[in-house]
Structures are given as structure tokens and as C-alpha cells.
Homo-oligomer: A and B are copies of this chain.
Amino acid sequence: MDMDITLSDYEYEIYVIKKYIHKFIKDKIIVSALYPKSDDFENKECFGDKILGYRVVEMVTTEYDFVPKPGTTSRILDSSVANETLSQLYSRLEIEPYITGPAFSNYKKKADVVEVIICELKRSKDEVAMKVLELLILLLIQHGMFYYMSDEIWRAQCSNRDTMSAIVKYLNSQVPQVRHATCLSGEVVLKVSKYDYN
């Protein structure tokens, strides 16, 4: 599945995000996302969706050194925030065991959980949570840009990679055990040492 290939480029980032998401669940920064039947869930899902759309378009239209061609911004957006993409992230972040009620069988509901998580991270105003959110959104933008391989997009992706490295470095410095745990996997050790160059 193509979509899986693009997210697989970011194994290490997904690993770091997952560790933090599980920590935030334990620390009660993430709560409503685990109760999909509450009124609060729906409101936060709606807000999470808006936070995500806003940030993706803000990045794509203002934070790179080019003006996207007509249609490019909305195509990157559509791909970044698609329910299929978010539901895949839901699976990769291994959130399912924490959810109350029966397992979801459809994309939409899994995507909704990720949107509520986005809302709860944003609203927490916690500095580390903000960084995790930024990393998560950058990951989605990289995914959204995957099919638009112009020079401009390629430069934007390189710039994103630098930003993601810097965020991962920051997150590792916050909770050193996340990094140590990662080093148990030989494959990931190489990716860790990549960040040491900076």
C-alpha cells in the first residue's frame, strides 16, 4: 500500500510520537480521545480537524520559500488530513488498547480519535505536547507532499526534515528514556545517530 510506504519513511518519528502519546494518556493530558461516545469528543474532534487544517495550510503557504501553484495547497491538504492517513496514524500510534468501548471497524472513527488527540495536545498548552503536535503535523505534511515531486516541494520536504530532526532532538532531551528504549533496535540506532550530526 503506497500510503504505508510514505509513513514508513518516518519510523523513528512515529516511534517518538507514540511514546509521548502513551505518556500523555497516562498523565491525563489526553482524556476525551479515549471516550468516543462523549459530547466532548465530538466538539474536540471538530476543533482538532480545524487546528490541523489551519496549521497544514499555514505551513504550506507561508513557511517555505515558494508560492504553491494553483491547486497544490488544497491537494497537499486533502492528502495530509485524509481519514485514511489519520486512521493509519491511529494504528501506528497503537492507541486502540486505551479506547473505551468496542474496536473501530472504519477509517472515519479512527481518524476522529487522532483529531481529538490533536485538540487535546493543542489545548494543554504544555510545551512538550506542542512539540509533539508539531512533529505529528509535519509528518502528515510530508505524507501529503509525497506525490508532488517538484523541486520546490523537494526543498520544502528537506526543510521539514530539518525541523523534524530538531524537534526529535528536543523531545529526546526531555525524556531520555525514550531514546534509550529506541536503541534496543539495531535498525533504529542508525536513525538516532543521524540526529547526532546536528
Residues of A within 8 A of B (CB): 39-40, 42-44, 46-47, 50-51, 53-54, 56-58, 61-62, 67-71, 73-74, 77, 123
- Distance between Cα atoms of A69 and B40 in the complex (Å): 9
If over half of A's interface residues share one DSSP class (helix, strand or loop), that class is named, otherwise mixed; here it is helix
Interface core residue of A40, A56, A70, A71 (most chain B CB under 10 Å): A70
- Given A50-B50, A50-B53, is A43 in contact with B58 using a C-beta cutoff of 8 Å? no
Contact A47 B40, beta carbon cutoff 8 Å: no
How many Å from the CB of A26 to the closest CB on chain B? 25
Q: What CA separation (Å) do A67 and B32 show in the bound complex?
A: 13
- Per a CB cutoff under 8 Å, which of B58, B67, B69, B123 touches A50? B58
For the complex of A and B, 10 pairs with smallest distance between CB atoms: A54-B54, A50-B54, A43-B61, A50-B57, A50-B53, A47-B57, A42-B70, A46-B73, A47-B61, A43-B73
